[in-house]
Every structure is written in structure tokens, then in C-alpha cells.
Amino acid sequence: MFPTFLPSAVTSLQTEYAIALAQWIVRREILTPLSQHKIATAYVQQGKGSRPILLLHGFDSSLLEYRSLIPFLAAANETWAVDLLGFGFTERLPGLPYSPAAIKIHLYSFWQTLIARPMIVVGASMGGATAIDFALTYPQAVHKLILINSVGYTGSFPLGQFLFPPFDALAVEVWRQRKLQPLHLATAFGNWNPALKDALRCAALHLEMPGWQEAFSTFTKSGGYSHLSSKVSRVDKPTLILWSEFDDVLGVGDAEKFQGDISGSRLVWLKNCGHVPQLEQPRTVAQHILSFC
């Protein structure tokens, strides 16, 4: 059975890992300094081990992007994945300051409530920037960092500060339609690969959650992680950098920047994959993560 807080479209999932992960998602009421109301926070916890691994997803995504990776990690380690504030299936309370600062405050409250031990934090794309920001602010919560095609020197939204009604709502709707259009095409033409269809469903499922538009717009106007580039060199945790040789979103130039700025970090190139190796090559990514752990 799927959790009742997920959109009804979850019943359209067809692949084993997607169905299983969606069924494992739970929500816990987390009290934070951001509001007098607790925030129903979506997460998955699987496996056992002495050192917890926490997976952080990318921009406008959810923990479902780790559906293929979690089974490999959880076979040998305590593995967590959480939906960041304003994203995925975590509750979006009206009026919250959806921004990087609020995200790390909420994430710290989540860690205090459920984990409360130093973690190996894995961040993909924007999740990498979140991991870096979190580690710099709450070093006691982080044992090691693993960055997968990470935002850090890019990923800001310079036009966001100029979006005002009604243009902000229009821009958000244009983004939503861009994500939904491939799914509509895949549904209309039934000969598409089931795994590809599920990838599109997983990428769009959270768009139907209450408050998605407001949270998306507010985060975009915040400027994203544009403040982070000057702080990367302050990272003092053991860091593994995984970077795809064919990353068509961020390119490859930032990989060596991270390696140069983070003292003692290790860079590993992932062959023959793009921006989301956790979906394209989950076994290989898991092997690198577990070896580094």
C-alpha cells in the first residue's frame, strides 16, 4: 500500500524499485525553529550499520531519485533519504521562508530528532550544495561528505529576485509544464520503455503536492546557493567527489574546482553516464560510496 499523503498518480508506477521506495516513504512531524507548527517530513530509512548514510536529492526533485541506489547501500549500511524543506513530499506550510538557510535548519532538526549521530552525507546536484552548507554550519552532524555532480559554484537563480506577480506564477507554470510534457508524450505513446516512463513519473509526482507552487517560487526568489562558492574551501570533512564524464547539466569543469578547493578530497570520474548516475549506474555509485565509507 502507498502512503495516503502521496498524490494518487503514485499508483501508476510500474518498476520494482520505484514502487518499493514509494511504499517505504513515511512522514514524521518535526519541530523546528522555523514555525510553531511541526513539519510533516518525508523520509525513508532502510538497513543497519554503525555509521548512517543520508541521501540528499537535487533541485525540484524528491528522494525517489535514489530508488535504484538505496537497495545497494541498505544491504550493508543504515541508509536514510529525506525530502528537503520545500521539495518532494515534505509538508509545505504556508508562509515559510523556503531558502537554503531554512532548508539546513529544517534538516538539522530532522537529524536531531531521528538520527543524532555523525553521518556520511551524500548530495547530488543541488543536494551537494545543501550537504556542503549543512556541514559548514553543523560540523558535529557530519562525518564525511560525498558530492555527486554537485552544485556549489553554479546553481543560483539571478532572475528570481525580479519575478513579481503575476510573472512569478507564470514562470512556475512554464516550469511545471516542461516537466509534465514528456510524461504526457510517454503516456500517449504506449511503446515507451517502462523504466523511462517511471523515471518521468517519479520526476513529476511531487508537483501535485499542496503548496508546491508557492515553495518553488519562494526558493527561486531566494537566489538559491549563489552564496556558497566562496565557502567551499572551508570544508574540512573527508570528501569524495563523484563526477560524470558526460554531465550535460553542470558540465565537468567544477569537478576539479571542488577537488582543488576541498583539502584532501578525492575525485572519481564516472564513465559513460550523465547528470544522474545514481539512476544510470547505481551499482557503481554504491560501490564508490561504500568503499569511501
* Cell numbers for 101: 538557510
* Cell numbers for 64: 525517489
- Among this protein's residues, is 247 annotated catalytic? yes
- Among this protein's residues, is 184 annotated catalytic? no
**Sheet containing 142-148, strands listed edge to edge, beginning at the edge strand earlier in sequence:** 26-30, 39-46, 79-82, 53-56, 119-124, 142-148, 239-244, 266-270
- Whether residue 245 lies inside any domain: the answer is yes
144: which strand partners? 120
pLDDT at 186: 59
Residue 128 has pLDDT above 90, yes or no: yes
- The domain total for the chain is 1
Q: Among 19-23, 189-193, 204-208, 234-238, which stretch is predicted with the lowest mean pLDDT?
A: 189-193
CATH of residue 170: 3.40.50.1820
The closest of 144, 123, 157, 170 to 292, measured between CA atoms, is 144
pLDDT at 54: 98
- Among this protein's residues, is 198 annotated catalytic? no
- Whether residue 3 lies inside any domain: the answer is no
CB 228 within 8 A of CB 111: no
pLDDT at 61: 96
- Whether residue 166 lies inside any domain: the answer is yes
- Whether residue 227 lies inside any domain: the answer is yes
The closest of 148, 107, 118 to 284, measured between CA atoms, is 148
pLDDT digits (tens, 9 = 90+) for 230-272: 999 999 999 999 999 999 999 999 999 999 999 999 999 999 9
Query: What's the CA dihedral at 123, 247, 176, 94 to 10 degrees?
Result: 20
The residue that leads in pLDDT, 15 or 156, is: 15
Annotated catalytic residue, options 57, 106, 275, 288: 275
pLDDT at 223: 85
Residue the block writes with cell 510500474: 14
pLDDT digits (tens, 9 = 90+) for 95-105: 999 999 999 99
**What is the average per-residue pLDDT within 4-25?**
96
- Whether residue 199 lies inside any domain: the answer is yes
pLDDT at 83: 98
pLDDT at 178: 76
**Exposure on the CB side of residue 262, measured as CA atoms within 13 A:** 27
The closest of 170, 135, 38, 157 to 96, measured between CA atoms, is 38
Residue 200 sits in which domain range? 8-292
Residue 186 neighbours by CB under 8 Å, 6+ apart: 192, 196, 197, 200
Helix (H, G, I), strand (E, B) or coil at 280: helix
**What is the average per-residue pLDDT within 75-86?**
96
Residue 60 has pLDDT above 70, yes or no: yes
- The pTM (predicted TM-score) of the whole model is 0.93
Q: With cut-offs at 50, 70 and 90, classify the pLDDT of residue 171.
A: low
**What is the average per-residue pLDDT within 23-36?**
98
- Whether residue 2 lies inside any domain: the answer is no
**What is the average per-residue pLDDT within 96-115?**
97
- Whether residue 43 lies inside any domain: the answer is yes
CB atoms within 10 A of CB 243: 23
Annotated catalytic residue, options 61, 125, 150, 229: 125
Q: Distance between CA atoms of 40 and 262, rounded to whole angstroms?
A: 34
Q: Distance between CA atoms of 56 and 127, rounded to whole angstroms?
A: 5
Annotated catalytic residue, options 83, 198, 247, 261: 247
Residue 210 neighbours by CB under 8 Å, 6+ apart: 92
Q: What is the 3-state secondary structure (H, E, C) of 111-144?
A: HHHHCCCCEEEEEECHHHHHHHHHHHHCHHHEEE
CB 167 within 8 A of CB 160: no
Residue 133 neighbours by CB under 8 Å, 6+ apart: 100, 103, 104, 225, 228, 231
- Whether residue 121 lies inside any domain: the answer is yes
Residue 144 has pLDDT above 90, yes or no: yes
Residue 222 CA, distance from chain mean position: 18
pLDDT at 179: 75
